[in-house]
């Protein structure tokens, strides 16, 4: 007899394979190949492992990693929203919440509840773990764009003010990483790969 | 002043982007698109999160996740070795060890040592965490191949005995998951997508 829990978990594991098909706007490092959500989530999870020491507060790294591994799963139904999209707000749309209920709902009840809660916590960005996780999510594309001659900033005409406003939340997770990131943003202006109007 | 640790960590984070280009032999679920190592590692890490309750022993889930996130990084230098390759042994080649030293060696010393140790522990497969991590690594391609009409088994003429011998280590990590996996292997023979000679 195969346990009912296991069968539900396997159904979830099969479903989330679709995350590998969701293309982000950002490209891989020094590359013109778009990154997908699974690759992105893997990278952020490792970044959290190696950068945890720079968090402003003592964090539960396992919780941060869980957040990062699952944070884009809702995009299976809701699609990827470009962070600089002016038409559609990225955060906590009803569409994303429906997606979370459907996809995490494939799991056994207690587990579904735990992961939906972790996802909501990430989206709200208020706890120390969510703040650090968000700082990872903002840092990776900054590293990518600076390696790609401006990347999505150049491609979609995003200027310094917009970048600065989106990136400054890094500071809430890590002052140390924000110092580095702010420096990188200013350097990008100097190099002419980010426009300051 | 940006800390020396952070600069080393950023160098590592940039280097491991290459994992996204390493193609595995196995294909995504119900697909003819090859999986890459980053996608694979992401999937295994989430599998560990949702399947941990089935481990034979109480495990440190954070350690298992770290193992799974980093287990294929050495392939940046050493390349992916097909698990049923008859020419080249997959485990712990000198080439892989050199790769581990070079790539994890980009990190601050203590962190490099920690991750090399975790990678060695995974490769040795002797601790309860390594056993559970290995069971995840064996389960994912089994699920993929059964979703793909035999997948790499059919493509490379791998028979039941070889599959059984590689997959049976799942039992060391989880008897519960092994029951499910063994069942799936037997069903595959019945369906004619895995040859039993």
pLDDT value at position A10?
A: 98
Inter-chain CB proximity A28 and B17 less than 8 Å: yes
- Shortest CA gap A90–chain B (Å): 23
**pLDDT tens readout for residues B39-98:** 999 999 999 999 999 999 999 999 999 999 999 999 999 888 888 877 666 555 789 999
DSSP annotation of B178 reads: H
Q: Tell me whether residues B2 and A180 touch, CB distance under 8 A.
A: yes
- pLDDT tens digits, A121-159: 999 999 999 999 999 999 999 999 999 999 999 999 999
Q: Which residues of B touch A34 (CB under 8 A)?
A: none
**pLDDT at B106 (0 to 100):** 98
With a CB cutoff of 8 Å and minimum separation 6, the contacts of B136 are B44, B47, B48, B51, B64, B68, B173
Tell me whether residues B45 and A28 touch, CB distance under 8 A.
Answer: no
Residue of A nearest to B27 (CA): A17
Q: Taking the model in full, what pTM does it have?
A: 0.96
Which residues from B are below 8 Å from A16, CB to CB? 43, 46
Q: Do B45 and A46 touch (CB under 8 A)?
A: no
In order of A96, A104, B149, the CA distances from A10 in angstroms are 22, 12, 18
Q: Do B43 and A3 touch (CB under 8 A)?
A: no
pLDDT of residue B197: 84
- Domain locations along chain B: 4-191
Best residue in B42, B119, B178 for a mutation probing chain A (most A CBs within 10 Å): B42
Q: What pLDDT sits at residue B85?
A: 77
> Cβ–Cβ of B143/A111 closer than 8 Å?
no
Average pLDDT for A45-71: 98
Looking at residue B90, its pLDDT comes to 58
Per the CB < 8 A criterion, the answer to whether B37 and B72 are in contact is yes
Chain B residue nearest residue A70, CA to CA: B46
Q: Which residues of B83-93 are buried (b: 16+ CB within 10 A; e: fewer)?
A: bbeeeeeeeee
Note the CATH number of domain B4-191. Answer: 1.10.3210.10
Q: To the nearest whole number, what is the mean pLDDT of chain A?
A: 95
**Which position has the higher pLDDT, A86 or B91?**
A86
How far apart (Å, rounded) are the C-alpha atoms in residues B2 and A182?
11
Q: Supply the ipTM of this predicted assembly.
A: 0.96
């Amino acid at each position: 007899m195969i346990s009912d829990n296991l069968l539900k978990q396997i159904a979830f594991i099969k479903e989330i394979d679709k995350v590998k098909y969701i293309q982000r706007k950002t490209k891989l490092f020094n590359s013109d190949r778009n990154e997908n959500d699974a690759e992105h989530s893997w990278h952020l999870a490792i970044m959290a492992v190696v950068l945890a020491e720079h968090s402003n507060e003592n964090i539960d790294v396992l919780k941060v990693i869980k957040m990062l591994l699952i944070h884009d799963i809702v995009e299976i139904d809701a699609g990827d929203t470009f962070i600089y999209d002016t038409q559609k707000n990225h955060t906590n749309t009803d569409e994303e919440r429906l997606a979370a209920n459907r996809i995490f709902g494939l799991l056994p009840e207690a587990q579904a509840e735990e992961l939906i809660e972790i996802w909501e916590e990430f989206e709200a960005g208020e706890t120390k773990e969510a703040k650090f996780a968000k700082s990872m999510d903002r840092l990776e594309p900054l590293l990518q764009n600076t390696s790609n001659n401006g990347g999505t900033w150049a491609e979609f005409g995003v200027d310094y003010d917009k970048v600065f406003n989106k990136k400054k939340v890094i500071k809430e997770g890590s002052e140390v990483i924000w110092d580095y990131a702010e420096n990188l943003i200013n350097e990008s202006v100097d190099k002419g790969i980010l426009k300051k109007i």
